[in-house]
């Protein structure tokens, strides 16, 4: 497979995962803001932006609202939903012949839905956000059931789960910094915040099944970071990422894949053998920063190995 | 030359079918339907207009869903359009086709010998058959190709020559496209659609197949591979998704099962060309390039090209990779050189041309120029380096201002223009606005030349969908229709 094709499939998938994540986080936060009352508006907007890894926090509440609005529809905002969907479609267009027609049509539909809804007020965006999540899920389902699960599909998997690992790490880390104060008993409002975090990871129901509705930050951390089979846990994502990378290495069939497999294997092991009490004692923040750093290394190694490798190293192989 | 009154006495849906001085593909001069159009004619009489409309919609939808679009340059909005496809086939008898086929084969062989000669010994120039100035002043002449050995001496791998039918019914060559001719995907797709829409008619007529085009193209390309490699790697080089013919590039690559690459996918190293794959670099033997000469290699040609592959030309010169078509073929489809093609055929093959040329006046020749400028309203003036219907003046349909403008341009740069008498292209039935109407058509067959010459029976019939228009280019309101060569 051409390197450019692998790269495009990978980015298509990353962008789409990010669009879905952004839509869900914004929707959950909008719900929460209704509960929180108007007094804390400014802090709310800043928190929302940070949860998505967007910095440059806005100064006052009006500005905050407009900057979240930008996260929906502004194509000049790098992390906005519309930018992500456009990025996904643009990458898909470059490899139009490599993906199934059904995939292309669904992505096109999503793209047109996003374009047609611009200018909508953020408080009326609920349906829009829902359609993004649904559209992205549909695309993933179509991809899994209409595309050969060969090398290209593995690049899609790798992109999806790398992006998910990154998004979850940022979200969880920001949340714990803001709301986890072990010295103080949890207030009524914080309870809602923790539910919000779980909802942002589609994890509320799954968490309740495991631990009942009793909200305990340590358990939440364990569930979201280390759960082996919940698809929006960091560990699950890292394992899926590693599996995809191994498959790519096998399909590409050369020794050159070893560095990227080593790095992704280390990431998986870090999570697979992690203990939540140790992690909390050492600082969840520090731990998640380590995960983020490793994600960056996996991305860099993949790019070096499969896409932008120097001519000389490839000739030796 | 306005259309003379209709001699039409045909029943609906043909009641709006007009006949005039132009050759009509369906009806003879008395208005009677020609034998090879009888099946189609009878079938149309039996079909209500609603049914025809429904089939037209099915065809349009099929084109839309496959994303068969082309890009119109020079306009800001709505630049991407669905290629209009007419519902009714254009029918050619096997005798007519036989003549076309022999004529094109002869023409391609001669032009190929001409290219080899021009880039090596220049005998034809020394003998004064073709003036040196015409060749060396052509903007598609590539001095880098001088003395370079082209594998199998096959310069023109894929050619698309435009044929028209004069009022007498004779097929003549209007121009040759020897650089990167496009449109063959429309031919293949519209055949697929037609077979679904008119299965019975198709069987009854006995149409010769064209579906093997992709295999023929692949084996033609394979023949160009450097020796010593049993399984050569062949790729199709596209400028990318923004090119007007991207659909076709992707289509052909998929049909042939070869990689569709962009310039950035290829690297040249030590005079070999490789493509970047996830499994490492893979050597490339043959490149079917759909990029103009100028953009192929920024080191050898236009240095501002971001589409090409730096170092590709050196690998080509070293014989480690083949290009199809070869570079520099544009010198043989220059519209001024066109006037000399009959002489070129006689010079190399010692034969008379089977397909005639359209009478052509070179504006660089003073007596010819004065003659044409005297009656500009009778001629079609074309810029020699342009294609796609751009830079053209159609005398009878022009305003005095446009003629004045062209007069100035011709006098400023006579080498850049030719003139031809306005020819009424033949007309064929088209389904428009719920009725069958006559529109002007041309024919572009695709000629492949590797170990041997192969031409699939048929080609792209282009239609000027606007009433009375003589311009069939897709960028100028033209469409296409399927071409049936009977067996």
Least confident of A287-301, B15-29, B120-134: B15-29
Q: Which long-range contacts (CB under 8 A, 24 or more apart) does A284-290 make?
A: A284/A172, A284/A173, A284/A176, A284/A180, A284/A221, A284/A225, A285/A173, A285/A176, A285/A177, A287/A225, A288/A169, A288/A170, A288/A172, A288/A173, A288/A225, A288/A234, A289/A173
**CB of A2 less than 8 A from some CB of B:** yes
Residues 6+ apart with CB under 8 A from B264: A4
User: Which two structure tokens, joined as six digits, stand for A33?
Assistant: 């803001």
A316 vs B108, residue with greater confidence: B108
Number of Cβ within a 10 Å radius of residue B408: 10
B275 to A2: CB separation less than 8 angstroms, yes or no: yes
Per-residue model confidence (pLDDT) at position B62: 82
Determine the Cα–Cα distance for residues B287 and B237; give it in Å rounded to an integer.
Answer: 6
- Angle between helices A151-179 and A3-36 in degrees, nearest 10: 30
B387 vs B365, residue with greater confidence: B365
Q: Give chain A positions within 8 Å (CB) of B274.
A: 311, 314
- Residue B101, Cβ density class (10 Å: 0-12 exposed, 13-18 middle, ≥19 buried): buried
Rounded to the nearest angstrom, the minimum Cα separation between A20 and chain B is 26
The answer to whether B429 touches B440, Cβ cutoff 8 Å, is no
- Give alpha helix (H) positions in B127-264: 132-136, 184-197, 199-205, 213-222, 246-256
Question: Does the pLDDT at position B364 exceed 80?
Answer: yes
Determine the Cα–Cα distance for residues A152 and A1; give it in Å rounded to an integer.
Answer: 8
Question: Does the pLDDT at position B311 exceed 80?
Answer: yes
Question: Does the pLDDT at position B167 exceed 80?
Answer: yes
Determine the Cα–Cα distance for residues B373 and B393; give it in Å rounded to an integer.
Answer: 13
Question: Does the pLDDT at position A114 exceed 50?
Answer: yes
Q: Which long-range contacts (CB under 8 A, 24 or more apart) does B148-153 make?
A: B148/B119, B148/B316, B148/B317, B149/B319, B150/B116, B150/B326, B151/B224, B151/B226, B151/B319, B151/B322, B152/B223, B152/B224, B152/B450, B152/B451, B153/B112, B153/B116
Longest dimension (CA), chain B: 71
CA angle centred on A174, ends A173 and A180, rounded to 5°:
80
Per-residue model confidence (pLDDT) at position B60: 86
Task: Round the average pLDDT of chain B to a whole number and report it.
Answer: 90
Confidence of residue A112 (pLDDT cuts 50, 70, 90): confident
Do residues B312 and B375 both lie within one domain? Answer: no
Order of strands, sheet of B379-383, starting from the edge strand that comes earlier in the sequence: B361-362, B417-421, B379-383, B392-394
Question: Does the pLDDT at position A317 exceed 60?
Answer: no
Percent of chain B exceeding pLDDT 90 equals: 64
Residues 6+ apart with CB under 8 A from B42: none
The answer to whether B353 touches B439, Cβ cutoff 8 Å, is no
Domain count, chain B: 2
Question: Does the pLDDT at position A126 exceed 90?
Answer: no
The verdict on residue B204 lying in a domain is no
Q: Give chain B positions within 8 Å (CB) of A252.
A: 277-280
Determine the Cα–Cα distance for residues A289 and A272; give it in Å rounded to an integer.
Answer: 17
A2 to B274: CB separation less than 8 angstroms, yes or no: no
Question: Does the pLDDT at position B458 exceed 70?
Answer: yes
Per-residue model confidence (pLDDT) at position B80: 56
Confidence of residue B152 (pLDDT cuts 50, 70, 90): very high
Per-residue model confidence (pLDDT) at position B5: 46
Q: What is the chain A residue with the closest CA to B268?
A: A311
CA dihedral of A226, A227, A232, A234, whole degrees rounded to 10: 20
Determine the Cα–Cα distance for residues B195 and B173; give it in Å rounded to an integer.
Answer: 29
Do residues B315 and B375 both lie within one domain? Answer: no
E strands, B86-199, are: 90-92, 158-165, 171-177
Task: Tell me which H or E stretch contains A223.
Answer: helix A217-226
- Residue B144 is classified by DSSP as G
The verdict on residue B147 lying in a domain is no
B211 vs B1, residue with greater confidence: B211
**Segment B281-309, tens digit of pLDDT:** 999 999 999 999 999 999 889 888 888 99
- Residue A100 is classified by DSSP as -
Per-residue model confidence (pLDDT) at position B3: 42
Q: Domain ends where: B406, B421, B436?
A: B421
**CB of A250 less than 8 A from some CB of B:** no
Residue B460, strand partner residues: B444
CA dihedral of A97, A103, A104, A109, whole degrees rounded to 10: 180
Question: What is the full DSSP assignment across B18-50?
Answer: ---SS-BSSB-TTSPBPGGGHHHHHHHHTS-HH
B275 to A311: CB separation less than 8 angstroms, yes or no: no
User: Which two structure tokens, joined as six digits, stand for A131?
Assistant: 């359609």
Pairs of residues, one from chain A and one from chain B, whose beta carbons lie less than 8 Å apart? 57
**CB of A190 less than 8 A from some CB of B:** no
Order of strands, sheet of B259-261, starting from the edge strand that comes earlier in the sequence: B259-261, B234-237, B286-289, B322-324
Domain that holds residue B250: 227-320
Mutate to test the interface with B, among A94, A256, A261, A314 (most CBs of B within 10 A): A314
Question: Does the pLDDT at position B235 exceed 70?
Answer: yes
Per-residue model confidence (pLDDT) at position B71: 60
Determine the Cα–Cα distance for residues B246 and B248; give it in Å rounded to an integer.
Answer: 5
Phi, psi of B300 (to 5 degrees): -100, -30
**Segment B42-75, tens digit of pLDDT:** 999 999 889 999 999 998 888 877 767 666 555 4
Rounded to the nearest angstrom, the minimum Cα separation between A85 and chain B is 18
Mutate to test the interface with B, among A1, A3, A104 (most CBs of B within 10 A): A3
The verdict on residue B141 lying in a domain is no
Q: Give chain A positions within 8 Å (CB) of B265.
A: 2-4
Per-residue model confidence (pLDDT) at position B2: 40
Q: Give chain B positions within 8 Å (CB) of A309.
A: 276, 280
Residues 6+ apart with CB under 8 A from A91: A8, A9, A11, A12, A15
From chain B, which residues contact A within 8 Å (Cβ)?
A: 67, 240-241, 250, 253-254, 259-262, 264-265, 267, 269, 274-281
* CATH number for position B366: 3.30.1490.270
Do residues B231 and B316 both lie within one domain? Answer: yes
The verdict on residue B173 lying in a domain is no
The verdict on residue B399 lying in a domain is yes
Rounded to the nearest angstrom, the minimum Cα separation between B273 and chain A is 11
Q: What is the chain B residue with the closest CA to A155?
A: B278
The verdict on residue B182 lying in a domain is no
Rounded to the nearest angstrom, the minimum Cα separation between A101 and chain B is 9
**Segment B425-452, tens digit of pLDDT:** 999 999 998 899 999 999 999 999 988 9
Determine the Cα–Cα distance for residues B187 and A190; give it in Å rounded to an integer.
Answer: 67
Q: Give chain A positions within 8 Å (CB) of B250.
A: 96-97
Determine the Cα–Cα distance for residues B332 and B175; give it in Å rounded to an integer.
Answer: 10
* CATH number for position B283: 3.40.50.11290
Per-residue model confidence (pLDDT) at position A160: 97
Smallest Cα–Cα separation from B282: which of A301, A255, A245, A3? A3
User: Which two structure tokens, joined as six digits, stand for A127?
Assistant: 């349906």
Determine the Cα–Cα distance for residues B447 and B105; give it in Å rounded to an integer.
Answer: 8
Complex ipTM value: 0.80
Characterize the bridge pairing of strands B280-283 and B80-82.
unpaired
Determine the Cα–Cα distance for residues B284 and B259; give it in Å rounded to an integer.
Answer: 10
CA angle centred on B49, ends B48 and B51, rounded to 5°:
70
Mutate to test the interface with A, among B236, B249, B278 (most CBs of A within 10 A): B278
């Amino acid at each position: 497979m051409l390197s450019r094709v692998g790269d495009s499939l990978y980015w298509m998938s990353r962008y789409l995962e990010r669009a879905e994540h952004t839509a869900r986080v914004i929707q959950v936060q909008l719900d929460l803001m209704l509960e929180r009352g108007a007094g804390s508006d400014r802090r709310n907007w800043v928190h929302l932006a940070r949860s998505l890894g967007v910095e440059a926090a806005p100064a006052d509440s009006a500005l905050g609202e407009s900057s979240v609005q930008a996260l929906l529809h502004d194509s000049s905002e790098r992390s906005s939903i519309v930018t992500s969907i456009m990025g996904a479609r643009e990458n898909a267009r470059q490899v139009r012949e490599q993906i199934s027609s059904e995939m292309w049509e669904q992505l096109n539909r999503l793209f047109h839905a996003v374009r047609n809804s611009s200018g909508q007020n953020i408080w009326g965006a609920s349906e829009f956000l829902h359609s993004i999540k649904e559209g992205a899920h549909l695309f993933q389902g179509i991809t899994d059931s209409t595309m050969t699960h060969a090398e290209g599909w593995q690049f899609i998997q790798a992109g999806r789960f790398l992006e998910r690992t990154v998004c979850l790490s940022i979200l969880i880390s920001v949340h714990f910094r803001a709301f986890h104060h072990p010295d103080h008993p949890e207030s009524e409002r914080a309870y809602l915040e923790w539910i919000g975090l779980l909802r942002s990871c589609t994890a509320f129901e799954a968490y309740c099944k495991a631990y009942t509705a009793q909200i305990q930050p340590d358990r939440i951390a364990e569930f979201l970071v280390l759960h082996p089979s919940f698809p929006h846990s960091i560990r699950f994502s890292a394992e899926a990422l590693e599996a995809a990378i191994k498959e790519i290495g096998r399909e590409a069939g050369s020794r050159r894949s070893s560095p990227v497999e080593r790095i992704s294997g280390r990431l998986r092991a870090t999570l697979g053998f992690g203990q939540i009490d140790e992690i909390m004692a050492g600082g969840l923040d520090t731990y998640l920063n380590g995960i983020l750093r490793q994600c960056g290394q996996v991305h860099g190694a993949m790019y070096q190995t499969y896409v932008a490798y120097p001519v000389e190293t490839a000739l030796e192989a | 030359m306005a259309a003379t009154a209709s001699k039409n006495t045909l029943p609906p849906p043909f009641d709006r079918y007009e006949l005039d001085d132009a050759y009509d593909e369906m009806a003879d001069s008395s208005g009677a339907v020609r034998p090879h159009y009888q099946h189609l004619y009878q079938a149309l009489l039996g079909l209500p207009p609603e049914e025809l409309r429904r089939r037209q919609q099915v065809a349009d939808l099929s084109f839309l869903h496959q994303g068969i679009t082309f890009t119109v340059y020079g306009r800001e909005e709505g630049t991407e359009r669905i290629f209009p496809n007419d519902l009714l086939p254009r029918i050619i008898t096997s005798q007519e086709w036989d003549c076309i086929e022999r004529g094109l084969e002869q023409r391609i062989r001669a032009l190929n010998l001409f290219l080899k000669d021009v880039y090596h010994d220049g005998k034809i120039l020394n003998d004064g058959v073709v003036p040196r100035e015409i060749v060396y002043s052509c903007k598609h002449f590539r001095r880098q190709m001088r003395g370079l050995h082209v594998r199998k001496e096959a310069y023109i791998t894929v050619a698309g020559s435009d044929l028209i039918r004069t009022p007498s019914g004779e097929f003549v060559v209007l121009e040759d496209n020897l650089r990167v001719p496009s449109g063959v995907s429309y031919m293949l797709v519209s055949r697929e659609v037609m077979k679904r829409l008119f299965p019975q008619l198709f069987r009854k007529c006995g149409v010769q197949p064209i579906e093997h085009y992709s295999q023929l193209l692949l084996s033609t390309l394979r023949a160009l591979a450097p020796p010593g490699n049993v399984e050569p790697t062949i790729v199709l080089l596209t400028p990318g998704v923004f090119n007007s013919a991207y659909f076709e590039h992707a289509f052909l690559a998929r049909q042939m099962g070869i990689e569709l690459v962009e310039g950035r996918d290829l690297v040249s190293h030590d005079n070999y060309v490789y493509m970047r794959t996830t499994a490492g670099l893979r050597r490339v033997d043959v490149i079917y390039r759909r990029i103009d000469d100028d953009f192929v290699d920024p080191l050898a040609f236009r240095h501002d090209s971001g589409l090409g592959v730096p170092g590709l030309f050196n690998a080509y010169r070293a014989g480690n990779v083949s290009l199809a078509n070869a570079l520099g073929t544009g010198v043989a489809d220059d519209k001024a050189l066109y006037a000399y093609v009959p002489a070129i055929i006689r010079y190399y093959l010692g034969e008379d041309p089977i397909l005639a040329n359209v009478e052509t006046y070179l504006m660089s020749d003073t007596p010819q120029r004065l003659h044409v400028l005297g009656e500009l309203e009778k001629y079609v003036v074309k810029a020699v380096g342009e294609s796609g219907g751009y830079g053209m003046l159609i005398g009878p349909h022009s305003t005095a201002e446009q003629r004045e403008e062209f007069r100035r341009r011709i006098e400023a740069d006579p080498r850049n223009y030719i003139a031809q008498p306005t020819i009424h292209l033949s007309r064929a039935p088209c389904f428009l606005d719920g009725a069958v109407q006559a529109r002007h058509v041309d024919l572009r067959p695709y000629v492949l030349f590797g170990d041997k010459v192969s031409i699939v029976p048929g080609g792209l019939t282009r239609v000027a969908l606007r009433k009375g228009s003589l311009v069939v280019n897709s960028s100028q309101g033209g469409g296409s229709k399927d071409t049936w060569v009977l067996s």
